[in-house]
Amino acid sequence: MPLIIDTQLPAARTLMEEGLVIKPHGHHSDRCLRIALVNLMPVKPDTELDFMRLMAQSAYPIELLLVNTASHSCRHTPAEHMARFYRTFHETIQSGPIHGVIITGAPLEFVKFENVDYWHEITGIFSYLRQHRTPTLYICWAAFAGLYFHHGIPMEILPTKISGVYHHRILSATDPLMHGIDDGFTIPHSRFASWNRRHLTADPQLRIIAESTDAGIYMAAHETYPEYYITGHGEYAPLTLDSEYRRDLFKGMQPSIPRNYYPDDNPGNPPVDTWHLTATRIMHNWIDTLAVNKH
C-alpha cells in the first residue's frame, strides 16, 4: 500500500527511487491510517527517511504527518524544511483523526528531564495521548521520558555507551508486535541510558516484551493503555552506527567499536544489515493493531 506524504520531501524522492509507492496528501481511502511522527531528532530528514522505510509497503495506506515542538527551535535542520513540512501537535490533531503516534529519541540523556526546554510541551502530548488512548510508540529518549513521566521510573546513565547490534530474547511471545518474530532477533542500540529492570518488574501496569542480555530491556508495554516503550533503533539505516562511531572518533571521545556490527569487528569492513526485516515486521505488526483499533 502507498505511503502518503508531501511529495516534495527529500525522503519522498529517495523512496520513489527505491521503487516504493508514494502518494501526495489528499490521496485517501477508508483503509487509510493517519500516523503522526513527533520527530525530536536534530537532523530531521534522516529520521523521516528511516521511519518511512519501515512503514512503506504495509498492508494499509499510511498518511504520515510530521510534528515538531513549538517550544524548541531546531538548529540542525533548515528552517525552510521545518516551515514547509512540519506542524505542531495541536495543529496536527485539529487536521483530522490520528490513529497512531511515534515519538522519537533525542540526544538528551545528560539533561535532567525537567530542564529540557520543551518538557512542558512534550509531557502535554504524553498526557493527551494517554487520555485519548492513542496507540503510541515511545522510542529511545522518548521511552525513558514517557516512563519517567507516567510511572516515575528514573533513567539511569551508564558508565559506557551501549552501541552495536544486539540479540534479544522474547519474554511475551503473544504480544501482537512479536507476531512472526524469531527469538534471538537483532536490533541496533545507541545510548548512554538504561532502566533498572527491577523498577519495571515491580510495576504491575508494565510488561517487558523483549530484552537483551548485553543491552538490557528493548521493549516494554503498558497493560491497559496502547503504549510501547522501545529503547533500540530498528529504524537505523545500515551506516548510521558507522557514522556515529566515526563522528565520536573525530571528537576524540575514544568510542568502543559498535558490537556485532562490523564483520570481524573491523571498522574497515562494511557493516551488514541484519535487523531491517525484523524492524519492518515489528512496525507492520503495530500498524495492523492500529487498523484493528480504528474499527
> Which residues participate in catalysis according to the annotation?
140, 233, 235
Q: Which DSSP symbol is given to 236?
A: -
DSSP secondary structure, 166-227, as one string:
EE-EES-TTSGGGTTPPTT-EEEEEEEEE--HHHHHT-TTEEEEEEETTTEEEEEEESSSSE
Angle, CA 41 vertex, CA 245 and CA 261 arms, to 5° = 30
What phi, psi does 42 have (nearest 5°)? -65, -50
Q: Pull the grid cell for residue 188.
A: 541496533
* Residue of 10, 28, 27 lying closest to 84 (CA atoms): 10
Cβ(209)–Cβ(177) below 8 Å:
yes
